[in-house]
Structure 1
């Protein structure tokens, strides 16, 4: 494919920005419209969408075939594994061509008296976008609260339903984060309200059912905008928590759940650089802390000692090469999630000091602790999948470790796991560091002779680890001879906390170097043809894509850039934009000159230059509240102005969606089909 049709050309209006005696001229700054209503902006986005349609029209049959192929692998009638919470068992299911699930409960595991709680399909009628953020039921099981977002901005409204009468209450809570916690009196709830400008949650309100939202009481306001805020409840339901988390610092406030009119108290002093997670069971606090422990350690405290870290009792010491990622408390045992050399495992401990490991056999895989609402349970629910093993649900006996497979994702069509193989490699980066890579391919189409097309995915920010898990959609590429690779680059926590710190702030260039070096190594080792290499990433992974096409454009035939963070410097200098001030510990604060210069060196928008670029597909959502639509819009306009090639540059905006893309289980496949068709068509040109 080449850029033969007339591409939309944006007008240029110079906008000067000077910081630290350095001036930048942004010719496309005018594209920012916080209200998303400016006629010239909407008109240009629509021209870009039309341009996508024109260029992809010859491949519409392929795109449709891919969509039907992916949709055809999904079981139309499906249900979750029932989970017990209190006196009821809860389950969700989807039917036929429904985009969304329906939620039920019953008084036994066999669901003999299954009762409908919510049909999301009914709620979503009339909306192009619809998302339920959270469903939560009062402790006495009589009132359901759920939050809904109807435009993808992640601004949620709570509604309440009387489950005995099957009627809605008059209570409506607007402009929330979408999360709510019940006090133990069954009538008082706490929720987080958003800042209207930055869309950050910064205030906690108390609401009593039967009263208007205007009467709600502000119980806590966070003054430091670097902190994200969320609510929680202790494992034993005795306390309500306000969890505060900056990139490098944690804080928590607690309230007795039986006295909702009381005041929240800070459990321990806020200490810069101290990150921790906390829970409570049977009057004791369990704390995962990085105090003198980069990869975290587990400690215990009681009501008297929780405020004094020197009195905490250590249960699991810090280990240099093992990262503790989480804990789940039960009455008889506690389960610790650990990661060593990038691999997840679970260690089950009793309270007498004995322990054993739960492990899995695949070369590379994902595993995570599922929803376990009851501390009295004798089993822990585990979710598991690998690049060749569909998503599986296990109940593991806490005493014996015996794993019972409760369900495995059914993949329709001719899928047979034995036809596919996965590998785990370590690639040597330019500075000698060993970078993990997960690979999957179809055995009968893969030839390790450098002839296969290869798609490489990466993220590499915020310490978020992209574990290798099963994707039924990726089969459409594997069955066409693609190799799929995940580069576990620095900026994640795949190899522990240090792996993350080596990919942030002043070390951010390591993230980009790792991705590029993995590409070169995979070509060199025969996993992919040098002229058939593709890359894809979204959000902070979209920043990664923007950086690699500036720094090594010759390596890639096609690149997918999704909801991308591309104008890093301008965004991080603007405190009115969501997710700016509380991102300083990730990227650095460019109000400081050293951080300004660091970001300036890699910011994708600022480093576009007159050179040849790969074929590129960019996607975004007009209502994205995390990465604003104008970042990719500006980047595409500037790239069109500067690039010296005639390769394709397509920019598609979903005019109804936000950061998460289209809602619904089938509609979201259209975006995947578009990218796959874009890549596959390039191979035939």
Structure 2
């Protein structure tokens, strides 16, 4: 049951009615012998699974009432939202195509077409110059409310293309195979497929893939006898590997030299890689390196050598080359160090080629790239004349003579570059064009804020030249978990903010991987609150350096970044004007105490296992839902997805209900639940841009 009441916020042009207010129903969780009241527990569907979904009419009624209230709010600002949407369309909805990837005699590329919601996938046969359309996502999505293509894998003989797509946001994919000879899909259809990886056998006779179980855990690897299937023989999916430890994640991929399939089993602390030689007819696994506590490594194959990136000597990692042996075991005492451990720079990624190894890293949070010659064992530094930028390395074909990267920053659209492996010479082969945008009209800076413990936290900002920084509003974005970096890459979705005079800021806070592994390790488990301290420190430093004013800052984050927003709002609501919390992980205690939920066991290494009272007590000090209090909060816009397997719908729903009951202000609070989507929000270009337009509308009007 919910109650309707009137609400008038400081930002509304007309009074809004029918503000939902969820009924409180007494419910107690007993944790560590103590009762914890959770009056909105009823908003969680009893015996919920992704397959059953939400069926309780009372819960659905409340969510629909919240959606109606949100729609009523945005209906007041339709003209503004449409104007922002059109501005976004002008920047993003253009005819474009990717720079091709060359595989044997074919060049593969994708196209985006103006007025089309999804991409098209094409190829050109280089000897004949024949170009053909392979997959039009718009056709596949035609009868679906939601569509996301997550696997596109070309068979080694280039005849077949494996596709797997999500049709409801649940991240349980449908796998189908296109025969490019007939341009028809085969009758084969596999369900509950994971997007974690797909590997063709080199002779195209079969393939490996992953499936999610009833708890949405992709802990199994399957083999499918494709050759038998296309000859109309009955074929069953064959499970060839299963990881029983639910705290681990499993991914599969083919090695760069195409000799092996790797099954990588890892948690945030350590991992092990199982290897299957793809030329072996019998499925056999071996482990070149054993699993060791707190040691992580990435493995690649370069014909006679293994290439390994590992933190065995320190969190910033080193990069190694070692000869393969008949025993299949790697001797780390007989390695060649491609890149040694460095206290001031962290290794991030690498790509393996027949003649060279290309690797990237960060020094003081800024990217670098180096090329190592495998024959003469020498290293070449590749310079980049940019301030505060993002560098992405893309593994291309093993025998290529050039590496492929993309570069951008907050005010420079991405450029694809090819780097000659021998000379290091760079060539821009694709520059993204953004209509009505000129880099020279904007400014970007990188500054550092002293956090609570004295550590300096970098942040990158951008604004349009000529704005008055004494009055300009500020948009501050952060994430800060799982070691994921939030790099200052170009985002056309920021342009409406910049063009309205906002200072746009990305905070490179601890808990993320912005400065390498040690930066991540510094804010997790029982030091997690440093992430929130860092975010607050960035806001305060922006105010101090005249890039923001107290009470005129919007903060934003999604998923674990939504937890960042929720925790920060509880700690320092006075700093902020408004907040965007997208699919926020906010009901931390109740989620982490429920091991039946899809992600919970795998999260213990990030937040701790609250069955241990010490971790429970620490989580309780920052969990956003549990720390909502009777105080003033800024305007808040919260999004959710009814099919979300990562942050289940009831987390943001309960949080909003509790905020409505306890907050002491009249600022607007909105919950917007996508009823046919999941963690990623609406699918397609247009759905994404409309969601962004609504967010910007809220920012401008709150």
CA deviations on 1:72-92 (whole Å, 9 max, x unpaired) are 112521111111012211011
CA distance in 1, matches of 2:457, 2:328: 39
Q: Distance in 2 between matches of 1:267 and 1:10?
A: 56
- Find 1:366's aligned residue among 390, 393, 403: 390
Aligned residue number for residue 480 of structure 1: 500
Structure 2 counterpart of 1:553: 573
Quote how far apart the aligned CAs of 1:401 are: 1.5
* Cα distance in 1 for residues equivalent to 2:118 and 2:93: 13
1-side partners of 2:112 and 2:392: how far apart?
A: 23
Pairing partner for 1:126 from 143, 166, 185? 143
Q: Does residue 130 of structure 2 align to residue 113 of structure 1?
A: yes
1:348 aligns with 2:366: no
Give the structure-2-normalised TM-score. 0.94
User: Any residues of structure 2 matched to 1:622-641 within 5 Å, and which?
Assistant: 622-641=642-661
Partner of 2:404: 381
Question: Shift of the alpha carbon at 1:379?
Answer: 0.8
Residues 259, 512 of structure 1: alpha-carbon distance in 2 compared, 3 angstrom cutoff = same
Contact 1:394 1:405 in 2 (8 A): yes
Kindly indicate whether residue 499 of structure 2 is the aligned counterpart of residue 499 of structure 1: no
- 1:418 corresponds to which residue? 440
Match of 1:30 in 2: 42
Paired residues for 1:78-227 under 5 Å:
78-108=96-126, 112-178=129-195, 179-196=197-214, 198-209=215-226, 210-211=228-229, 215-227=236-248
Choose from 417, 430, 452 the match for 2:452.
430
Relative to 1, partners in 2 of residues 1:301 and 1:354: Cα closer, same or farther, differing over 3 Å?
closer
Q: Secondary structure at the match of 2:19?
A: coil
* Selected match of 1:272 from 288, 293, 297: 293
- Number of the residue aligned with 2:381: 357
Q: 2:351 touches 2:395 (CA, 8 Å); kept in 1?
A: no
After superposition, give the CA deviation of every residue in 1:402-437 in whole Å (9 maximum; x if it has no partner).
11111111111x311100010000111121110001
Preserved CA contact (<8 Å) 2:93 2:115 = no
Q: Any idea what SS the aligned residue of 2:628 has? A: coil
The yes-or-no answer on 1:522 pairing with 2:524 is no
Query: Where do 4+ consecutive residues of structure 1 move more than 6 Å?
Result: none
SS of residue paired to 1:344? strand
- Number of the residue aligned with 2:5: none
Q: Which runs of 5+ in 1 are unaligned?
A: none
Q: Residues 306, 443 of structure 1: CA spacing in aligned structure 2 closer, same or farther, 3 A cutoff?
A: farther
C-alpha distance in structure 2 between counterparts of 1:344 and 1:479, whole Å: 28
1:589 aligns with 609
Following superposition, the deviation at residue 528 of structure 1 comes to 1.4
> How big is the shift at 1:300?
2.3
The correspondence for 1:405, drawn from 425, 428, 437, is: 428
For 2:310, the equivalent position in structure 1 comes to 289
Q: Give the secondary-structure state (helix, strand or coil) at the position aligned to 1:576.
A: coil
TM-score, length-normalised on structure 1? 0.96
Paired position in structure 1 for 2:277: 256
* Partner-residue secondary structure (3-state), 1:68: helix
Shift of 1:112: 3.0
Q: CA deviation at 1:309?
A: 4.3
Counterpart CA distance in 1 for 2:97 and 2:313 is: 45
2:73 to 30, 33, 55: 55
* Structure 1 counterpart SS, 2:280: coil
Rounded Cα–Cα distance in structure 2 between residues aligned with 1:494 and 1:432: 18
Residue correspondences, number:
676
Query: Displacement, 1:286?
Result: 0.6
Name stretches of at least 5 consecutive residues in structure 2 with no aligned partner: 1-8
Instruction: Give, in whole Å, the separation in 1 of the partners of 2:614 and 2:331.
Output: 34
**In the aligned structure 1, how far is the partner of 2:36 from the partner of 2:68?**
31
Provide Cα deviations, 1:447-479, integer angstroms capped at 9, x if missing partner: 34x311000000000011101011112111111
What is the deviation of 1:270? 1.7
Aligned to 1:644: 664
Distance in 1 of aligned mates of 2:343 and 2:86: 48
Q: Report if aligned partners of 1:561, 1:618 keep a CA contact under 8 Å in 2.
A: yes
How many angstroms does 1:496 deviate by?
Answer: 2.5
Select the residue among 235, 241, 245 that pairs with 2:256: 235
Q: CA RMSD in A?
A: 1.5
DSSP 3-state at the match of 1:619: strand
Question: How much has 1:590 moved relative to structure 2?
Answer: 0.4
State the secondary structure of the residue aligned to 1:73: helix
- Residue 214 of structure 1 and its aligned partner are, at CA, apart by 6.6
- Counterparts of 1:58-69 in structure 2, within 5 Å, are 58-69=76-87
In the alignment, the residues of structure 2 paired with residue 206 and residue 306 of structure 1 have an alpha-carbon distance, to the nearest angstrom, of 24
Partner of 1:470 in structure 2?
A: 490
